[in-house]
């Protein structure tokens, strides 16, 4: 299912549960601004290459728009639009003073040299610099981008507007990044998992986990689960998938990867068919890569008891229905992966204050925000007798709707 159709379907369902006026419903769905830019750069071999970049600013009723920038070959306008909309509901669920936005460039970052990536990022920034800003729209890393990408955006933006650390988050620490941001999304995923499991009298320790994606989010989630006594029995990335029924040695795998090794060459594991990964029997499945991976084709064959959506929109509404009928409990993306944007908010606050927090404070505040959001979602589930996804959507949409009406923006 198209990602925008899927996300909008969830929104409409929440709007119905909340009894929103149809004009307000329509205006909340329409993005504030959608920008498409051509980014032409000289390649290292002297030829020219052109890439299409997008920034979709969905909503700013609750504050400056906020959301990551993705570099991936499958980036397209509908996908960026859906991701921007999800950011609006996510920042509202987390109760941080932002709206939602998302950006992306259709490129394969692994096939570009560092200097080509730098040129591409600088050209993209030149094309959007007058649309972003610390109180307008604040980008951050997403798939295929990282703190170095944010450093280039900060530098290029500052050429036009003066030194402006709060224009992006997820920066290197020496440029005003926050301690704890690198791990924040994975750490938030683990706090969210613990909150959910506690409802069923369970904890991470002793449970089995399967993780799809071993980048920023997946590797931090795996590491923290391992530290808490959870067993990661299978995981995969774009290169393939591996399994070990006794648990994969995550710290050793992280070292193997840092030394340039690929998953399939890691010792003490069996290579598995990546298509089987999401269907592998386990207690908890955590998709940490692309959207739409759980759909009507494979949902009936999923053998996990809990799904924690660390990726954005990994399950479409058809999968949701099939999985719910099977009794699988799904913790939705707009809550489960909010740890990243919550610590981005702390980074922005530190930049504005010109003051640096220590890592313990960052992690403690992150846990507070995640716990409060979970309690708020549960309350919405009770009020509307609905799933956790609809609990999160009604929570987020209601906060944005109230802000919209209070600002007098009713259509």
Ligand X SMILES: O=C(O)CCC(=O)C(=O)O
Residues in the site for ligand NAI, rule: CB under 6 A? 141-144, 185, 212-218, 236-238, 288-290, 310-312, 337, 340
Supply the minimum distance, in Å, between the C-beta of residue 398 and ligand NAI.
22
The SS3 call for residue 214 is coil
Binding map of ligand X across residues 283-312, x = CB under 6 A, - = no contact? -----------------------------x
Non-local CB neighbours of 2 within 8 Å, separated by 6+ positions: 78
Out of 291, 317, 340, 391, the residue judged to bind ligand X by CB under 6 A: 340
Residues 160-219 that bind ligand X (CB under 6 A): 169-170
- In the complex with ligand X, the residue whose CB is nearer, 107 or 311, is 311
- In the complex with ligand X, the residue whose CB is nearer, 90 or 399, is 90
Q: How far is CA 300 from CA 291, 293, 317, 320, in A?
A: 18, 13, 13, 10
Which among ligand NAI, ligand X, none contacts residue 118 (Cβ within 5 to 8 A by kind)?
Answer: none
Non-local CB neighbours of 210 within 8 Å, separated by 6+ positions: 232, 233, 234, 235, 277, 278, 280, 282, 284, 285, 286, 304
Supply the minimum distance, in Å, between the C-beta of residue 66 and ligand X.
5
Triad 50, 54, 60: Cα angle to 5°: 160
Which among ligand NAI, ligand X, none contacts residue 238 (Cβ within 5 to 8 A by kind)?
Answer: ligand NAI
Catalytic residue among 23, 26, 36, 102: 102
Out of 140, 210, 293, 329, the residue judged to bind ligand X by CB under 6 A: 140
Query: What six digits make up the tokens of 375?
Result: 């309690």
CB 35 within 8 A of CB 104: no
- Cα dihedral sign, 178-184-185-191: negative
Which among ligand X, ligand NAI, none contacts residue 217 (Cβ within 5 to 8 A by kind)?
Answer: ligand NAI
**How many Å from the N-terminal Cα to the C-terminal Cα in the chain?**
29
Which among ligand X, ligand NAI, none contacts residue 347 (Cβ within 5 to 8 A by kind)?
Answer: none
What span, in angstroms and rounded, lies between the C-alpha atoms of 171 and 151? 6
If binding is defined by CB under 6 A, does position 142 make contact with ligand X?
yes
Active site residue 326: no
Query: What six digits make up the tokens of 137?
Result: 């729209």
Q: Could you give the residue numbers annotated as active site? A: 102
What is the contact surface with ligand X in residues (CB under 6 A)? 66-68, 90, 140, 142, 169-170, 312, 337, 340-341, 344
């Amino acid at each position: 299912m198209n990602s925008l159709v899927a996300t909008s379907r969830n929104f409409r369902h929440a709007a119905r549960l909340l009894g929103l006026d149809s004009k307000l419903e329509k205006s909340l769905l329409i993005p504030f601004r959608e920008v498409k830019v051509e980014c032409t750069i000289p390649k290292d071999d002297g030829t020219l290459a052109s890439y299409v970049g997008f920034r979709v600013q969905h909503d700013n009723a609750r504050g400056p728009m906020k959301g990551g920038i993705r570099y991936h070959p499958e980036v397209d306008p509908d996908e960026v639009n859906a991701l921007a909309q999800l950011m609006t509901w996510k920042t509202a669920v987390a109760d941080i003073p932002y709206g939602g936005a998302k950006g992306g460039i259709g490129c394969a970052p692994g096939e570009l040299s560092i200097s080509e990536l730098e040129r591409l990022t600088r050209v993209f920034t030149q094309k959007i610099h007058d649309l972003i800003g610390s109180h307008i729209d604040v980008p951050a890393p997403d798939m295929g981008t990282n703190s170095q990408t944010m450093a280039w955006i900060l530098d290029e933006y500052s050429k036009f507007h003066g030194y402006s650390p709060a224009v992006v988050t997820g920066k290197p620490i020496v440029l005003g990044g926050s301690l704890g941001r690198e791990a924040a999304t994975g750490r938030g995923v683990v706090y969210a998992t613990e909150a959910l499991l506690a409802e069923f009298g369970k904890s991470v320790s002793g449970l089995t986990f399967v993780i799809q994606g071993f980048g920023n989010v997946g590797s931090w989630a795996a590491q923290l689960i391992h530290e808490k006594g959870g067993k990661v029995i299978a995981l995969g990335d774009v290169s393939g998938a591996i399994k070990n029924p006794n648990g994969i040695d995550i710290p050793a795998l992280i070292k193997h990867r840092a030394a340039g090794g690929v998953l399939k060459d890691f010792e003490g594991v069996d290579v598995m068919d990546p298509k089987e990964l999401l269907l592998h029997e386990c207690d908890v499945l955590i998709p940490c890569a692309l959207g739409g991976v759980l759909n009507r084709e494979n949902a009936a064959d999923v053998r996990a008891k809990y799904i924690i959506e660390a990726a954005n929109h990994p399950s479409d509404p058809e999968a949701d229905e099939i999985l719910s009928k099977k009794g699988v409990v799904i913790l939705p993306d707009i809550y489960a992966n909010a740890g990243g944007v919550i610590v981005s908010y702390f980074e922005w606050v530190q930049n504005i204050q010109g003051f640096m927090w220590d890592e313990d404070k960052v992690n403690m505040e992150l846990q507070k925000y995640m716990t409060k959001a979970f309690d708020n979602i549960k309350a919405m589930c009770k009020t509307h007798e609905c799933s956790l996804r609809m609990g999160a959507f009604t929570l987020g949409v209601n906060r944005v709707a109230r802000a919209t009406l209070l600002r007098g923006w009713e259509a």
